[in-house]
Chain A
């Protein structure tokens, strides 16, 4: 097996063939995604616990979030997931230019998401709807409304960091695609970041109703 005749540039020495390498990489990525779910899982637990204790306050506080902007952002992220999938499709049919275009579109959507998020944050900072001891807003009835905003900022903030991280990697993939490094024979890295991007999207799809819709 060590003497496999065709030895493509991307095949590392300790794998016996490209299929084994690809399977391993994908399996590894799924495990990594599992750790991400558990990371956010801790925060969802904190959310559930405090919501159960201060149901009223959570309801009142969630009204302060902007549902319209939240909905727009949800659609933007779902669309970016679509363009990400289309980029992978582009590589599968060996159309690298098309793939690059879709990767670019994914980056643009991600950026729009962050800009909208920025305006939401800006507005809250202005009103003093801030986490913990920085909370100065008085318009939310109920005990300890700062807890809601702590959870809101930590959850959306951590999610935002994941968006930024994803954007950096997608940008690297974009450069590599333009350089012709990927083809229908080898595009594992793009496929992996695609999986990651869908997960980040999925987490938002849970964050949005919990924080914006039901409180």
Chain B
């Protein structure tokens, strides 16, 4: 049949245990990919239920308590089980060693452990859903979360466990990038996706432990009533918010930085161009990672923190906008005088550019103190972070998934179906979330089960958009699954990329490279090398 497939990591060695106990980064990445796709689907179902409920004011399909559980689970699943591991643990795991010419990550056993820790966390989360689903919002704010009668402990414990999975992935990547680069691959010859993963890993390692200890304190608060966050016992709920956002704001960059890395790969390959401003993009990743630790207070401008604190956090927040802006302009300049083709990964890349620009610019509104007071905790914020997280990270994830799909599975998907899916997703997304900017600035608070009549038309429009979005994803599911069975076989290099993963068979053999390659050219040297697709 297909020689590459028969000799690939997918078929060697064979048997279930060879998968369950594998230390191959590609297999671990693939198992992660299946797991996160499952949770993306589950989180998506909750999202559609939420939008269906909000189609009209009052009760549409569920009760207030069920609604509160639905938005909590949508948030918790999408953030902790999908978007944080999506790019690093699934795509990154698969591609990183290939990109840097290594046979595996530095600690393959730790890598497998990180996957099983993820599974354990996921099981706790599912247990929590079955035994009464949390209703606290994914932020678990105290004192609500210490009073709520729902299964808060099992969900926070799940998130605590998932934190370790994330830390181990980050640790593994930092060491891998430092120690396992192929000879000749200097720091500034690395593909930009590697820089993205590197900056991400630093945040994963430095921020996640603080979330862990916060959740431990929260669990102890519920079980033993230790009083640290409980106002009735002299504790301070705002301290919880500080702790929580010290992790969760950098976590936003855990989500977006690797996405930016993917975009830097796809935009060069599909425009046959050397990336514009390599150094600026690489350093802006590190700058974002650094400043991300200093801006957590911008989630708390209306919490009664001092004006001085608010001023400092607002200032630093604007600082973090600059490197993101620089990246965007660099991508735009990369298109200039390119030879641009419009395969599915490129359509997602252009969608990213469009949506992330809106997401980033609306961040300026929220960073400005006086505007934040009006917009905080309204649908404006909901729309903003969906434009960044979904319009940014998810579009980049989809760009990466379509870009590396032939490499991962050794199959090509149907290009026309992929284009239709991409366009449906783009249109549906904008319908769903652009309307929410208007809702929010008109004063519609978030996490509302019921709403006043004046908000009805926009809510209905948003709900219709979410159905279009859902159909787009369904189309995607169909053609991707179809490709696994009936897809054509690609050659080594279907897109004409210059990075190392395109020098090995699709799918790659178990040990990646027969001989560790020597790197002589940069990752985007389209000005020196004319690459043939095959």
Contact = CB atoms under 8 A, between A and B. Distances in A.
Contact of B179 (A20, A50, A133): A20
B239 A146 contact: no
B515 interface: yes
Contacts of B234: 54, 143-144, 146-147
Interface of B is mostly: helix
A36 B225 CA distance: 25
A42 B214 contact: yes
Interface string A16-27: 100010011101
B224 A23 contact: no
Interface in B61-76: none
A14 B513 CA distance: 10
Nearest to A44: B213
B319 interface: no
A31 interface: yes
Interface residues of B, number: 46
Given A27-B178, A150-B226, A35 B205 contact: yes
B28 to A, nearest CB: 13
Nearest to B235: A147
A112 B515 CA distance: 53
Nearest to B232: A133
Contacts of A43: 213
A38 interface: yes
Nearest to B225: A133
A14 B206 contact: no
B122 interface: no
A46 B239 contact: yes
B209 A2 contact: no
Interface in B510-526: 511, 514-516
Contacts of B226: 131-132, 146, 150, 153-154
B248 interface: no
Contacts of B104: 13-14
B224 A31 contact: no
A146 B233 contact: yes
Interface string B141-169: 00000000000000000000000000100
A132 B218 CA distance: 13
A141 interface: no
B210 A150 contact: no
Contacts of A1: 516
A116 B235 CA distance: 30
A154 B220 contact: yes
Contacts of A24: 106-107, 175, 178-180
A205 B33 CA distance: 44
A39 interface: yes
A12 interface: yes
A118 interface: no
A31 B201 CA distance: 11
A148 to B, nearest CB: 10
B260 interface: no
Contacts of B221: 132
Contact of A12 (B108, B213, B228): B108
Q: Which interface residue of B97, B180, B210, B227 has the most chain A CB atoms within 10 A? A: B227
Given A34-B205, A34-B206, A13 B227 contact: no
B171 A38 contact: no
Contacts of B179: 20, 23-24, 27
B217 A154 contact: yes
Contacts of A143: 234
Interface in A146-163: 146-147, 150-151, 153-154, 158
B213 A39 contact: yes
B239 A133 contact: no
A119 interface: no
A49 interface: yes
Contacts of A42: 209-210, 213-214, 217, 243
B102 A14 contact: yes
Nearest to B221: A132
Contact of B167 (A35, A46, A146, A153): A35
B103 interface: yes
Contacts of A39: 209-210, 212-213
Contact of B174 (A15, A31, A158): A31
A157 to B, nearest CB: 9
B223 to A, nearest CB: 10
Contacts of A132: 221, 224-227, 230, 233
Nearest to B176: A24
Contacts of A35: 167, 171, 205-206, 208-209
27 contacts: A1-B516, A2-B515, A14-B97, A14-B108, A15-B180, A20-B179, A20-B180, A24-B106, A24-B180, A27-B178, A27-B179, A32-B171, A39-B210, A42-B217, A42-B243, A49-B239, A131-B224, A131-B226, A131-B227, A132-B226, A133-B227, A146-B226, A146-B227, A150-B228, A151-B228, A153-B226, A158-B216
Q: Which 6 A-B pairs have the closest CB atoms?
A: A144-B234, A133-B225, A42-B213, A14-B103, A132-B226, A150-B226
Interface of A: 1-2, 12-16, 20, 23-25, 27-28, 31-32, 34-36, 38-43, 45-46, 49-50, 54, 131-134, 143-144, 146-147, 150-151, 153-154, 158
Given A12-B108, A132-B233, 14 more contacts: A13-B104, A14-B103, A14-B180, A24-B107, A28-B107, A34-B205, A35-B205, A38-B206, A39-B210, A133-B225, A147-B227, A150-B228, A154-B216, A154-B226
